Structure 1
C-alpha cells in the first residue's frame, strides 16, 4: 500500500495548469480536504485559451453544478447549447418529447469569460493556493515515482513536493513529457479555422453544424452576442486556403446550406486555426502522477468535447483520489480506479472520433443512424444524447436503436415509392 506521510510534502496535490481541468480539480479536491497548489505558467489571472469550440457538453453539467458555477454562467450570458445538424438527408433537429422533459444542456461561453471565472473561483476556495507565473521545468522523482515538481517562478527556481502531481497542462503537457508518459497520436485529415462574429442571426437562435462528407463546419452562439464559426475541411483543400485564407474561409461559409449571413455581421476576431491537430491519448496515470483534460486525451475539435471532458476528468480524479491524497488511503490503488474509469468512459468515443478524423464519408452504420435521425424525432433525440456524450457508443448503437433506425428508413422508402400499377377497374 502507498500511504506516504505528510512529512516532506509542501502540499497534498500540486496541479500544473489553471485552465478548466486544473481549476476544477483544485476546487473539487480542496472541498474534500486536500491541500492543493495550483500552478499556472502565465502571470495574468485573466489569461484564457484562444483556440477552442467554447462549448461545454451537456454531460458536464453535473460538474458545473457541483462547482457552483451555473448561476455565474447564466449571469454572464452563457447560451444553453441546443443545436441542429445538416446532413445530405436534411436537418436533424432534436426536440424534447411532447410530454417529456426538456433536452439536457450545458453552455456555450467564450473562454475569455469562462477561464478567468473558474480560476478566480479556485483562488477563492479554502485549501487552494493559486501560484501564477509558475512554469513546471521538471519533476521530482524518488524510487520510480513522482513526488513533486520543479518550477520557474518570478522569484526564481522552486521545488514543490506533494503526494500527487497532476498534469492539467494541455495536449503538449510538460508534465507528461517529463514523466515520459507514452503518447498515442491519431492523424487528423482535416484542418480547422475559427472566427468570431457579433450580431449573427442563426436559424432558431441555436447552434448549427454541417456534415458535408468529408468537410465539416459549425456555428455556435456564445455570450455577449458573439457566435463562433469553425470550418474543418479535408486537407486536400489546404493549398487553396494557404493561398487566400480570408477569401477561402468566407467562401466556404457562404456556400453552406442555410448559410449564416456573415456579410451583414461584425467580425470581432481574425481568422485563426491550425493545419495539423492530431487526436492524442495518453495513459492517464503513473506512480504519483495523474493527467486530466487534454493532457490525458485530446479529441477532435470537430466534436467540441474538450471543455466537457476537462471538467469531467477533473471530477473523476477528485472522487477517486481525494482521501488517499490526504494520506488516508492507498494512492496507487486510487489512481488505478481513476485510470479505469477514464478509459471506460472515453475510450469508445475517442475510437470513433479517430476513425472519423480520416476525413471519410459516412460509413453504412452512420448513414443508417444519421438518415433516420433526420426523419424521426425519437431517433434524433437518441442521437442528441450521444452527441452530448450522455451515452456512449454501445448505448447509442444497441440492437434496439439500430432496429428502430432501420424501421424508420424502411417506412420512408415505402412512403416515397411510386404506387404499384393497378389493373383497370380495380
Structure 2
C-alpha cells in the first residue's frame, strides 16, 4: 500500500521538474529572508537567478551544524515569528541547542510525510500505534504522533521509558505498530521475555525504528525476538524530524521523499558530489519548508544513494541504511572504526547478548580498543575456558574486519546500561587525559 501514489510514484522527469520549481522558490526565499544565506551566496557570487537546473544546486555553499548554533536561536528562520507555530530543539549538550521552527504548512507536510512512513509499515485506520520516541523538544515523538493521526490510526502517546508499563499497554491496548529507537526496542524485547508474557498475547505486527544507525543483524534480532517486521526510518531535526525517508516492505533501501527533499552524496573530505552507487556523506536541501529551510545541509551520516526502480512502485531515490556517522567514527591507530561494524560482528556470531560498548583508552602514546560484550545468565555460569574461547573468537572476527587488534571482555548480564533513547556505544577515555 502507498499513502500518496501520485507523489510517491511520480515519473522521474516529472519529479525532477517539480524539484527544480520548488528549489528555485526555496533559494529565493532564503536569499531574501535569511541574511546568513544571502551573505554566503553573495560571497560565492551567486543569486537566486543562477538556479536554472538541478545541477546548479552543487554551486551553493554547504550548511553545517555550527551555522545553526552560531545563529541561535532564530537567525536562520525564513518566516517571521508570528508565522511560527511550533519550536523543536536538540538537547544542546555541546553549546547552544539546534532550534528549528515550523509554520502551519510545515506541520501539515510533516504529518503527510510520517503518514507515508507509517503506511510503509502497514499502518491504516485499524492500527494502534505506540509511540515510544520521546515527546517534547525532541522531534521523534510528535512527528510519529501526528503522522499516525493523519493515517487515522489510534495513537498511544506513551513516550520513552517506563518499560514495564510499555509492555502492559502493548498487551492491553492491542498495539500493532511500535515506534522507537532500535536499541530501545531491543530492551523492550528483553523485558517482554523476562515478564513471561506469551508473545501470542500481543498483536504487534511491525516497528518503525530510527534515530540511530542499526545493522541488518540488529533487524534480524528484533524481528526474531518480537516477531514483527522491522522497518528502518530516517530523519533529523535540522531537515524535518522523522519522515525524511523510510524503507518500504521490500526492505531494499529507504525511499527519500524527493518531492520535499533533494539528497546528495559527497566525499566528506573533498566535498565533491559523488554519483549514485558510491558511499559518502548525505547532504539534504529542503524544498518545501517555510519556517526553517536548509540548503545543502551536511548530515555527517554515511550512506549510498540508489536510483534504480523499486519493486514496491515508489520512484523516489533510495538510500542505504546509514552505516555510521563521520562524527561517530572513532580513529584508533589510524583506523576508522564505526560502532555498527562491531555490532555486525557480534550479532552475526550469535555467541553473546546484543549489548556492547567500545572503550577507547591511551597507554603511553598508543591508543587501545576494548569491546565489552554482555553474556547471558546461562553463559555467565559456564566455565572460564568456554568464556575465553568466545572472547578469542570475537576478537579474531573483529581483527579480520577492522584491521586492528581489539581486546574483548565478556561482562555479566545487565551490566551495560540500557537506553530509552539513543544508545551510547562509545566511551572514549582519551578525552579525559
In the superposition, the TM-score normalised over structure 1's length comes to 0.26
Larger Rg computed on CA atoms: 1
Q: Greater relative contact order: 1 or 2 (C-alpha under 8 angstroms, separation 6 or more)?
A: 1
